[in-house]
Structure 1
Amino acid sequence: MSESNRTDSRDFKPPEGDREGQLTNEFEEIKAGRRTSLEFPLSNSVSVTAVVLDSTRAASGQTTDCRCAALIVPRQREKEWVYSTEGGQWQLLVSAGVSRLIILFRRRDSVKQAKQYQRRVNISDEALETILRPLVLALTPKILFCGGIPKIPFLNYSDSVIQRVEKEVAYSSLTGFMMVEDVELKPELEEGSRSSCVSRISSQFPGGEHESIELVTSSSKSSSTWKRRLIFQRMPNLIQTEAALMIHPQPGSKPCGRERKAEGSSSKRKEKGFPQTRQGLERVVDHSRLVHKYLPPIVAGFVLISPVLDSSIRSRQKAKVFCIGVGGGALPTFLHHQFDFHIKVIDVDGVVLDLARRHFGLKEGSSLEVTAGDGLDAVAEIAAIAISAGLVHEDLVTNWKRSSNGDLKPYVKLPTSTSQAADVEDTVKTLEENLSSGENLSSRVEAGKSVCDGLMDSELGGELKFTDENAQGAARGSKLDSEFQSIQVEQRDMDPRYEIIIVDVDASDARSELSAPPVAFLGRKFLLSALIALKEHGMLVMNVISSGAEAYEEVIEALGAIFEEVYEIMLDDEIYHSVVFALVKPSAYNRSLASPAVELVRSVIDNELIHWIRKVKFKHASST
């Protein structure tokens, strides 16, 4: 804890009131959503700032429903966003699972008195809790005194950060302040542990007089690691992106010399405590693995639609993945390197995209599109295009129009004449024929023929035109492959739908029980749009973080009302953090059958994750 002048707890008396004399009456009751800051002196030079937060869900009036706890901010961490910002403080309250949380900051008077000197001494955590306990009791709800003087626990917040260095702080009118930082972590948060990406406080309440609570995640790793993070000030306890770092030579430099501290740094804050790499070396993001705890489970869920992905692999037609929410772009970059997908990424904030490009190595390409925009509108637009192309059942179209007020115009220009409508029908027919030819091709390739031979034997191959009919060997094969890829691009453009849609967006309100996703992504309008925007055996994936069972069940019910099956991988039972998979059609995944897609998934993640998949909702009849 921070240093303090020696203070005898026997001399400390609970304050009778705040600056307005209203302390006693003001804090007897829980007032939903209240946040108040008070300051109390401990000595001539040391004071305590108490931030009192009441849950947005007021207690029912029963003693068993009302819980109160205190948290002393660790020494030298007072300015960190998780403690100093309103969003961070609300997240601490939600993580603690209490009705009232009292966050205690120790302040030292910065004005030095020349004629007075007091020696600073260290004080143990237990002694500090003893000193502050009367103050905590004065701020405790009256209902907890029904059975005598309550024992209010002091919580220990643990995030396993050894040290951190700020890389950049940026601001956006949409997101607010955001920070890219490199952090050294204790082995508890190294990959391999089944822990949450949300640092949290245990919600257990022991009865000991000075008993504290601390959450520590077990791991077999023995050494610390460095990772790069993106965090938002509005919800600093929710890591937006976490990526592994590796040492890499700087362009035009040769590794040499001994490790030393940076000299002439323009920012002490950035370099303080940060171990420098050798001259000519730099830390860069490692795209070969996923270290953010919920990202490997997302990949594990791909096995649920493995037959569809197998078909794409065999036909060499890239499956399409649509990612809503970029963060640092760790997942789309990983999928781009490890899977032969066509990936489109959208984020509402262009500043976030800029940070992802400069600090996390997000790079656009022919198979990785990055766009700034609203994910809700983007999915609705895809659905509207699919409807206009005649790819959607009439009943589903009717339901979608009702949820969208019957208006497609904001999303797509519909056919205005019979001839235009006929063109759309011809397009769909051509698409179906091409897809059918692709399936025939894959079966012939499986029979032992090359891709080029399969093409020439198929009806699709007969339509290809060559300028040199006598082309032989490698030149002929190269031309065929090029033509085949062109047809694949045409097919992809003709069908706007995706195999996978991934929603990875935070709710932006730290007081909400549901930290992710925003409630707009659980509305009937979006879910119907997603259902239409997915292909027949497609899948919607969501990163879900909830502090309570009720909010989590509402997510499952919303998805189950639209999709045929819902699965989950639960990452943390206490805060209900899970990855949820909603399927358009029942999963055809069979563990006993050989599958190229499953083997690919197994090669890039821990195989145990696949066994964590559990069905949580099954709809025998669609209610869409």
Structure 2
Amino acid sequence: MALDKSTFETLVPARFVTFTFPDPSSPSASSDRRLLRVAVLDSPIRPSAPPRVAAMLVPSHREHDWIFSTESGHLQLLLGSPGLSRLVLIGEDPIDGRGSGLGFRRQTECHRSRREGREESLKPLVLALSPRVCFESGVPEVTFLSYEDDLVASVTLEVFIGEFVGEMLVEDVVIKRGSGCGESEFRRRLRFKRMPNLVQTQVRIVPQEDCRETEGGFRIEDMQFRIDARVLVHPYLAPMVASLSLIGSDIDERIRKGLRPKAFCAGVGGGALLAFLRGQLGFEVLGVDVDEVVLRVAKQYFGLEDGDFLHVVVGDAIEWIERLANRKTEGTLGALCSHDLSVADRIDGKFDVIMVDLDSSDVSTGLVAPPLEFVRKPVLLAARSLLCEFGILAINVIPPDRLFYETMINELRDVFHDLYEIDVGNKENFVLIATVASIREIPRYDVSFIMKLNSVLSGAYMDSIRKI
């Protein structure tokens, strides 16, 4: 069915329309003329000023990427440009077989100049897709936004469907760190389709054989890798671990007595945090994740090993906190399977730290962490009851607004002794740390555990912890 030209003359909040259009840069007489996929999204927010329209070309060979091929991805791009009323996304139509397959490689300077020529040829199309009000003062300027990230090359390893998280994919990528030569790094990533441009988990991977970058880039699809679990590359994980410096002297005393410190991880993802706590810091770790497929992916692709001193179970982490607290007081875990019971029975005593990495994803509002269900007094009281006398609760927080953050702080103050904060520095994540008791001030150089933390983490995160 042909589109009515008048469809685009007005703005309709949150309207999303896609169609194909002959590529004006390909010969019109050719029977093999390329098609473009055009997607037009109007902002869900009504403009308070004259509307702004912009277009964006999909990077070549990323046409299948969720950020460019889904309505939710399109919305993320639009909301990432404040004040934009309509975004027109234009890329090769992947349905005709010419779009990207499983891999991507960053374009060269030659490709960039070609892109500028394509933008010029597509200006009439963008004008035709602009609302009538934009022409009240004459023909408007056509603005093309550019999309840039640190991705150099990527290859999709496998796509999965989780019962709770939905479609997800595992990919190996090459990213560029800095502008100089020799700054490339290999990583494995887990992404969820529900938040198309969000990297849920990433770990550093190392080629099993020496490789050199050629003029055409790395042939990442032909390479074999091993997981490097000694470092944390996901932005907020190192700050979460840095929170342990607050109780480093108490953990040190436990270790000197021949005891292992214990951690409960609410949310597992790819398992990088759990593996680091177990492998680098000697913790006994219990991790809970609601989606069984996510745990299977973590074991298959991210090196998570469920065994001695590291236990993972399928379940709702908030329910587990409440049921574990119930076991401490009433001797029962409620309706959990026998496997879960055996895992819980292996965790003797209380936890030194509970680390919460849970989110509530809604593309219309953006990512929020933790979910509101966690910030309830019964849950916070249950969490406190599971912590030892010097224990801490460390939470990855992505606040949608200041009110959410302040409300969360007030709820924590009602239950815990003191609060601390780490600003991750990415303008998105904060780590909130709630303590059961007052923190003892002991020089770091006298504490072996803190010296160990300094050797495996950036000391900058420990130095940036502030009391609030």
Structure 2 length-normalised TM: 0.80
8 Å CA contact 1:160–1:186 kept in 2: the answer is yes
Does structure 1 residue 543 correspond to structure 2 residue 396? yes
Give the equivalent residue in structure 1 for 2:436. Answer: 584
**C-alpha contact 2:261 2:283 (8 A) present in aligned 1:** yes
8 Å contact from structure 1 (residues 243, 286) kept in 2: yes
What amino acid is the match of 2:168?
M
How many residues are aligned here?
436
Q: Which residue of 1 aligns with 2:285?
A: 343
Structure-1 residue corresponding to 2:59 = 74
- Match of residue 173, structure 1, among 155, 160, 163: 163
Contact 2:18 2:37 in 1 (8 A): no
1:528 alignment counterpart:
381
Shift of 1:180: 1.3
Distance in 1 separating the partners of 2:244 and 2:85: 41
Which one-letter code corresponds to 1:226 in the other structure?
A: F
Cα distance in 2, alignment partners of residues 143 and 83 from structure 1 = 27
Structure number with bigger Rg: 1
8 Å Cα contact 2:9/2:131 also seen in 1: no
Match of 1:507 in 2: 360
Aligned to 1:598: 450
1:302 deviates by 0.7
In the alignment, the residues of structure 1 paired with residue 388 and residue 460 of structure 2 have an alpha-carbon distance, to the nearest angstrom, of 28
SS in 1 for 2:374: helix
C-alpha distance in 2, partners of 1:139/1:552? 40
What corresponds to 1:92 in structure 2? 77
Q: What amino acid sits opposite 2:386 in the alignment?
A: A
Alpha-carbon offset, residue 220 of structure 1: 7.1
Q: Distance in 1 between matches of 2:334 and 2:282?
A: 32
Change over 3 Å in CA distance of 1:101–1:604 after alignment to 2: farther
In structure 1, the residue matched to 2:198 is 238
Q: By how many angstroms is 1:183 displaced?
A: 0.6
Task: Write the mapping of 1:114-513 to structure 2, written as runs, cut at 5 A.
Answer: 124-133=114-123, 136=126, 153-188=143-178, 222-248=182-208, 273-274=219-220, 276-277=222-223, 282-388=224-330, 410=334, 493=348, 495=349, 497-513=350-366
8 Å contact 1:73–1:103 — kept in the other structure? no
1:519 and 2:465 are equivalent in the alignment:
no
| Superposed displacement of residue 318, structure 1 | 1.8
Distance 1:498 1:223 in 2: 40
Counterpart check, 1:608 vs 2:460? yes
**Cα contact 1:243–1:285 (8 A) shared by 2:** yes
Equivalent residue letter for 1:274? I
Deviations 1:342-380 (A, max 9, x none): 100111111111111111111122311111111011001
1:296 is aligned with what amino acid?
A
**2: CA distance, partners of 1:111 / 1:315:** 64
The correspondence for 2:89, drawn from 93, 104, 116, is 104
**AA in 2 matched with 1:156:** S
Amino acid at match of 1:612: S
Q: Contact (CA 8 Å) 2:266, 2:288: kept in 1 or not?
A: yes
1:477 equivalent in structure 2: none
Deviation at 1:551, TM superposition (A): 4.4
Check 1:134–1:309 CA distance in 2 against 1; reply closer, same or farther (3 A cut): farther
Using the TM superposition, give the Cα deviation of residue 51 of structure 1 relative to its aligned residue in structure 2, in angstroms.
3.0
Q: Is the 8 A contact 2:324 2:333 kept in 1?
A: no
Partner of 1:244, secondary structure, is strand
Distance (Å, rounded) in 1 between the aligned partners of 2:125 and 2:15:
19
Deviations 1:550-587 (A, max 9, x none): 5444444443444333322222354x222222223333
Residue 96 of structure 1 and its aligned partner are, at CA, apart by: 3.5
Determine the C-alpha separation between the residues in 2 that align with 1:231 and 1:67.
Answer: 31
Alignment of 1:566-581 (within 5 A): 566-572=419-425, 574=427, 576-581=428-433
- CA shift at 1:39, angstroms? 5.1
SS in 1 for 2:18: strand
Q: 1:51 aligns with which of 32, 36, 40?
A: 40
State the partner residue of 2:18.
37
Whether contact under 8 Å (2:59, 2:91) holds in the other structure is: no
- Assess, with a 3 A threshold, how the Cα gap between structure 1 residues 316 and 99 changes in structure 2: closer, same or farther: farther
- Cα deviation code 1:272-317 (max 9, x no counterpart): 942635xxxx411012222222211111111122233123122222
Over 3 Å counting, the alpha-carbon distance change for 1:307 and 1:221 in structure 2 is farther
Report the TM-score when normalising by structure 1.
Answer: 0.61
The structural deviation recorded for 1:610 is: 1.1
Which consecutive residues of structure 2, in runs of 5 or more, have no partner in the other structure?
99-110, 213-217, 337-343
2:106 counterpart residue number:
none
Residues 209-253 of structure 1 deviation map (CA, whole Å, 9 limit, x = unaligned): xxxxxxxxxx7784212111111122231112111112348xxxx
Output the CA distance in 1 between the equivalents of 2:260 and 2:373: 30
1:328, 1:352 within 8 Å by CA — same for their partners in 2? Answer: yes
CA contact (8 A) 2:361 2:367 kept: no
CA-to-aligned-CA distance 1:416-443 (integer Å, 9 cap, x gap): xxxxxxxxxxxxxxxxxxxxxxxxxxxx
Identity among equivalent pairs (%): 33
Specify the code of the residue in structure 1 equivalent to 2:222.
Q
The CA distance in 2 between the partners of 1:23 and 1:359, in whole Å, is: 45
Query: Counterpart in 2 of 1:441?
Result: none
Contact conserved, 1:187 with 1:221, CA < 8 A, in 2?
no
More strand by share: 2
Unaligned runs of 5+ in 1: 1-16, 113-120, 189-218, 250-254, 260-271, 390-407, 413-488, 618-624
Asked if 2 retains the 8 angstrom alpha-carbon contact of 1:336 and 1:367, the reply is yes
